[in-house]
């Protein structure tokens, strides 16, 4: 399917009429945003993976049932589903507190995480894996701004409002995040493009 | 008139969040200031590297979602 020109609204309309490919386009268009949105709340990649699946299945059910009335606004709608599921996860967690073993580990760690996704977020190359691990190692507020700006495509103004800080604080966090990542890349001799000039 | 730029302005520049006028001024400043240029190159190359990293659900999750969708498609003809 040539999806370059097709709007979300058109894709939704085609999907409701039975065109499977149109949903695949929507899924590929928003899977990263949905996943990152959830991950920022639950801060656990495995739970984020499960809740991403739940989000799209819930979207499919609503679209199939004819109850979808948010035509033309698929993106905020699906992100709202994701957000609500992530918040519900927290509420459930509060009702059923994590059982902790004598050594302090989570009793469900070995059960829940024994079957890790066979492809770790489609990142095959060693360099990409390392970069991801460097992002994970960043202080939380720096990791947050990286995820929001790079993978949710939020502006610094939006990030500032969302995290309740000034825009200069958001910009400063991004600067420190980039500096810290750069240091880690150098330490691990990860190649970077030194031939960058103003655009 | 000599313009001065903060390190935070450089971040805005890297992420294209400057006005056209600011963008042009910072470009000129970079060409005249080696230290600023070096910092720009360092930050920009790191930001570019991040673009290569994927944050998305696994292929198996995508497959499950698509399979679920197909299983609920009443319009499918075999």
Q: Which domain holds residue B55?
A: 7-71
Q: Rounded to whole angstroms, how far apart are CA atoms B57 and B53?
A: 13
Measured in angstroms, the CA of B46 and the nearest CA of chain A are apart by 6
B13 found inside a domain: yes
Q: Which one of B53, B67, B73 would you mutate to disrupt binding with A, by most A Cβ within 10 Å of its Cβ?
A: B53
CA distance A31 to A40: 14
Q: Has residue B20 been placed in a domain?
A: yes
What number of other Cβ atoms are within 10 A of residue A146's Cβ?
21
Confidence (pLDDT) at A44: 84
Query: Which residue's entry shows tokens 């400043």?
Result: B29
Q: Can you give the pLDDT at residue A105?
A: 43
Q: What's the pLDDT at A130?
A: 84
Separation in Å, CA of A45 to nearest CA in chain B: 9
Report pLDDT for A196. 43
Closest CA to B55 of A171, A30, A75: A30
Residue B72 has pLDDT above 50, yes or no: yes
Residue B31 belongs to some domain of the structure: yes
Whether the CB of B12 is below 8 Å from some CB of chain A: the reply is yes
Q: Which chain A residues touch B50 with a CB distance below 8 Å?
A: 131, 135, 146, 150, 181
Mean pLDDT by 10 residues, chain A (199 residues): 74 91 94 91 89 96 86 86 91 58 40 36 61 91 94 92 95 96 85 45
Q: Determine, for residues A23 and B50 on separate chains, whether the beta-carbon distance falls below 8 Å.
A: no
Rounded to 10 deg, the angle between the A8-16 and A74-95 helix axes is 80
Mutation to test the A interface, candidates B27, B57, B70, B78, most A Cβ within 10 Å: B57
> Are A175 and B46 inside 8 Å of each other by CB?
no
Please check whether residue B65 lies inside any domain of the structure: yes
- Return the ∠ at Cα A38 (arms to A101 and A20), rounded to 5°: 125
Tokens found for residue A194: 């030194």
Q: Do the domain assignments include residue B15?
A: yes
Q: Which of A20, A48, A193 sits opposite B48 (nearest CB)?
A: A193
Q: Is the pLDDT of residue B16 over 50?
A: yes
Whether the CB of A131 is below 8 Å from some CB of chain B: the reply is yes
Selected residues 28-87 of chain A with any CB under 8 Å from a CB in chain B? 31-32, 35-36, 39, 48-49, 52-53, 56-57, 60-61, 64
What pLDDT score was predicted for residue A50?
95
Question: What's the pLDDT score for residue A91?
Answer: 79
Taking an 8 Å cut-off on Cβ atoms, the answer to whether B70 and A20 are in contact is yes
Domains of chain A: 1-118 (1.10.1740.10), 121-199 (1.10.10.10)
In a domain? residue B78: no
Res A194: pLDDT: 43
Helices A8-16, A20-42: crossing angle, 10 deg rounding: 120
Phi, psi of A106 (to 5 degrees): -75, 125
Helix or strand or coil: residue A104? coil
Which of B:59-78 have CB within 8 Å of A?
59-62, 64-66, 68-70, 72-76
Tally of structural domains, chain B: 1
Sign of CA dihedral A69, A71, A74, A76: negative
Cβ–Cβ < 8 Å for A145, A174:
yes
B78 has pLDDT over 50: no
Cβ separation A35–B45 shorter than 8 A: no
Q: Are B10 and A198 in contact (CB under 8 A)?
A: no
Nearest C-alpha neighbor of A75 from the set A16, A171, A152, A2: A152
Rg, Å, chain A Cα set: 19
- Taking each helix axis as running N to C, give the angle between helix B34-50 and helix B7-14, from 0 to 180 degrees, rounded to the nearest 10: 40
Interface ipTM:
0.82
How near does any CA of chain A get to the CA of B59, in Å?
7
Q: Mean pLDDT across the stretch B51-61? A: 86
- Residue of B55, B64, B73 with shortest CB distance to A35: B55
């Amino acid at each position: 399917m040539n999806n370059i020109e097709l709007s979300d609204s058109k894709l939704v309309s085609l999907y409701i009429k039975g065109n499977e490919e149109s949903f695949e386009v929507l899924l590929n268009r928003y899977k990263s945003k949905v996943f990152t949105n959830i991950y920022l709340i639950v801060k656990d990649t495995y739970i984020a993976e499960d809740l991403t699946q739940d989000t799209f299945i819930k979207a499919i059910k609503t679209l199939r049932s004819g109850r979808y009335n948010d035509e033309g606004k698929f993106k905020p709608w699906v992100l709202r589903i994701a957000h609500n599921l992530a918040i519900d996860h927290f509420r459930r967690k509060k009702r059923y507190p994590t059982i902790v073993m004598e050594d302090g580990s989570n009793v469900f760690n070995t059960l829940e995480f024994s079957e890790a996704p066979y492809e770790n977020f489609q990142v095959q190359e060693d360099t990409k894996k390392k970069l991801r691990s460097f992002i994970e190692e960043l202080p939380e507020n720096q990791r947050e701004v990286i995820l929001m700006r790079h993978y949710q495509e939020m502006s610094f103004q939006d990030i500032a409002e969302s995290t309740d800080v000034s825009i200069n604080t958001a910009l400063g966090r991004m600067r420190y995040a980039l500096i810290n990542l750069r240091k880690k890349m150098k330490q691990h001799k990860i190649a970077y493009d030194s031939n960058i000039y103003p655009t | 008139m000599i313009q001065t730029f903060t390190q935070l302005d450089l971040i805005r520049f890297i992420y294209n969040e400057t006005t056209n006028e600011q963008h042009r001024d910072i470009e000129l400043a970079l060409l005249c200031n080696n230290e600023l240029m070096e910092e720009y190159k360092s930050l920009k190359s790191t930001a570019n590297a991040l673009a290569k990293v994927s944050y998305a659900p696994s292929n198996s999750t995508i497959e499950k979602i698509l399979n679920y969708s197909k299983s609920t498609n009443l319009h499918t003809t075999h």
